[in-house]
Structure 1
Amino acid sequence: MFALLYSTQPLLPELSRWFGVSAAASTLTVSLTTLTLAVGLLVAGPLSERFGRTRLVTLSLVAATLLGVACAAAPTWGLLLAARSAQGLALAGLPAVAVAYLNEELDGAVAGQAIGLYVGGNALGGMVGRLLAGALADLGGWRLAVGGIAVLGAACTAAVVVLLPPSRRFVAAQPGLETVARSARAVLTDPVLLGLYLLAALLMGAFVAVFNALGFRLEAPPYALSAALAGLVFLVYAFGSVASTTAGRLADRHGRRAVVPVAVVVMLAGLLGTAASPLVLVVLALAVMTVGFFAAHGVASGWVAARARAGGRATAQAASTYLFAYYVGSSVVGAAAGRAWTSSGWTGVLVLTAALVVLGCGVALLLARSTSLLQPGNPPVGG
Structure 2
Amino acid sequence: MNKAVIFENKENRKDTIISACVFLSGFSCFAQLYYFQPLLPDLAREFALSASQSSLAVSFSTLGMVFGLIATMFIADRIPRKTLISIGLLASSVFSVAASFSPVFWLLILLSAAKGFLLAGATSVSMAYIGEEVSDRNKARIMALYIAGNALGGMGGRFISSWIGAVSDWRIASVSIGLLCAVFALLFLIFSPKSTHFTPKKESLHTLVVSNLQLITSKSLVPFYLTGGLILGVFVSLYNYMGFYLIKEPFNLPEYSIHYIYLMYIFGMFGSIATVRLTRRRTPFCILKTMLLISAGSILLLYVAHFLLIAIGLAIFTFNFFVVHVLCNRIVSDYDLSKRSVTISIYLLTYYLGSSLLGWATGILLDIFGWRYFLAGLIGIVLLNYTIVTLGIKRIEKK
TM-score by length of 2: 0.89
For 1:184 and 1:202, locate their aligned partners in 2 and report how far apart those are by CA, in whole Å.
Answer: 22
SS in 2 for 1:191: coil
**How far apart, in 2, do the equivalents of 1:348 and 1:10 lie?**
22
Contact persistence 1:41–1:92 (CA under 8 A): yes
1:272 to 279, 295, 300: 300
AA partner of residue 79 (structure 2): F
Q: Which position in structure 1 is the counterpart of 2:363?
A: 338
1:113 positional shift: 3.1
Aligned to 1:17: 45
CA distance in 2, matches of 1:78, 1:199: 31
Instruction: Give, in whole Å, the separation in 2 of the partners of 1:111 and 1:273.
Output: 36
Q: Structure 1 residue 117 and structure 2 residue 145: aligned? A: yes
Alignment match of 1:291 (pick from 309, 319, 325): 319
Count of residue pairs the alignment pairs up? 371
Q: Does 1:66 align with 2:94?
A: yes
Which residue, 224, 229, 240 being the options, matches 1:201?
229
Quick one: structure 1 residues 269 and 163, their matched pair in 2 at CA, closer, same or farther if it must change by over 3 Å?
A: farther
Structure-to-structure mapping, 1:249-328, within 5 angstroms: 249-251=277-279, 254-309=282-337, 312=338, 314-328=339-353
- The residue type equivalent to 1:348 in the other structure is Y
- Structure 1 residues 167 and 251, CA gap change in structure 2 (3 angstroms): farther
Decide whether the 8 Å contact of 1:241 with 1:294 is kept in 2.
yes
Q: Does 1:82 align with 2:82?
A: no
Moved more, 123-132 or 78-87: 78-87
Contact 2:304–2:310, Cα closer than 8 Å, also in 1: yes
Q: CA deviation at 1:252?
A: 5.6
Contact 2:38/2:243 (8 A) holds in 1: yes
Q: 1:46 aligns with which of 74, 83, 92?
A: 74
Question: How far apart, CA to CA, are the structure 2 residues paired with 1:299 and 1:362?
Answer: 17
CA distance in structure 1 between the partners assigned to 2:208 and 2:215 by the alignment: 11
Local SS of the residue matching 1:336: helix
Give structure 1 stretches of 5+ with no counterpart: 373-383
Alignment TM-score, normalising by the size of structure 1: 0.92
Q: Give the Cα separation in 2 of the matches to 1:101 and 1:252.
A: 24
C-alpha distance in 1 between matches for 2:275 and 2:58:
28
Note the C-alpha offset of 1:254.
4.0
CA RMSD of aligned residues (A): 1.9
CA distance in 2, matches of 1:340, 1:185: 34
Distance in 1, Cα, partners of 2:120 & 2:319: 25
Pick the aligned partner of 2:209 from 181, 191, 195.
181
Correspondence 1:150 to 2:175 = no
Gaps (5+ residues) in structure 2? 1-28
Aligned letter for 1:60? Answer: G
Q: Which moved more, 1:40-49 or 1:65-74?
A: 40-49
| Percent identity between the two aligned chains | 31
Task: Give the Å deviation of 1:369.
Answer: 3.7
Q: Is the 8 A contact 1:209 1:349 kept in 2?
A: no
| Compared CA separation, residues 106 and 89, structure 1 to 2 (3 A) | same
| 345, 357, 363: which one aligns with 2:388 | 363
